[in-house]
Amino acid sequence: MIGRLARRYALAVFDLAREENRLEALGEEIGRAVAAFEDPRVQQLLLSPVIDAGVRLRTTKDIIASLGLSPTVNNLVTLLAERDRLAILPGVARWYQGLLDAELGRVRVTISSAAPLGAAEKNELVELARRLTRRREVLASIEVDPELLGGVVLDTGGTVYDGSLKAQLARLRKEMAEGGA
């Protein structure tokens, strides 16, 4: 329900951003707003039931004003605050990012590696992600996870390609256990 609501808001802002030809800039602004409202002190203030709703709304508007947002994003955040729906702002940002990525033909992937990757290996993996997702641009974030023991895991945001030794050991364990069942 919240996901669908966030998607509706994201679609509306995305259409406006396309009309303004500021797709990436608005995405960055929404990200900034999310970061500001995710601050624990701000959260404590805005979610506190002992603080008057009018005061909370005024504080929210002050924060929005201080961020120097464009009118479109300003209106979005103000509208969410007035309707007491600021909690879905991170969801709106995620949906917006997804729409933006699809529009620009890019994909975000996560590469988990057992050890730091060299430039050549990283390029190979990004190229592999491009071929697997059939997108023009790949935004890769790389994490080092020694628990993988060896190899890499490529998460293309929905499909996980697991080439780690940890996964191979898990498969081997499962096969041996089932073989004796």
Stretch that binds other proteins, among 34-42, 61-69, 76-84, 159-167 (CB under 8 A): 159-167
By CB under 8 A, tell whether 180 contacts other proteins.
yes
Q: Among residues 40 and 180, whose Cβ is nearest to other proteins? A: 180
Please say which residue, 11 or 132, places its beta carbon nearer to other proteins: 132
| Max CA distance (Å), the chain | 67
Q: Which of 12, 16, 57, 128 binds other proteins (CB under 8 A)?
A: 128
Residue 154: CB minimum distance to other proteins, A = 7
Among 1, 50, 53, 177, binds other proteins (CB under 8 A): 177
In the bound state with other proteins, the residue whose beta carbon lies nearer, of 26 and 125, is 125
Residues that bind other proteins (CB under 8 A): 113-115, 117-118, 121, 124-125, 128, 131-132, 149-152, 154, 161, 163, 165-166, 169, 172-173, 176-177, 180-181
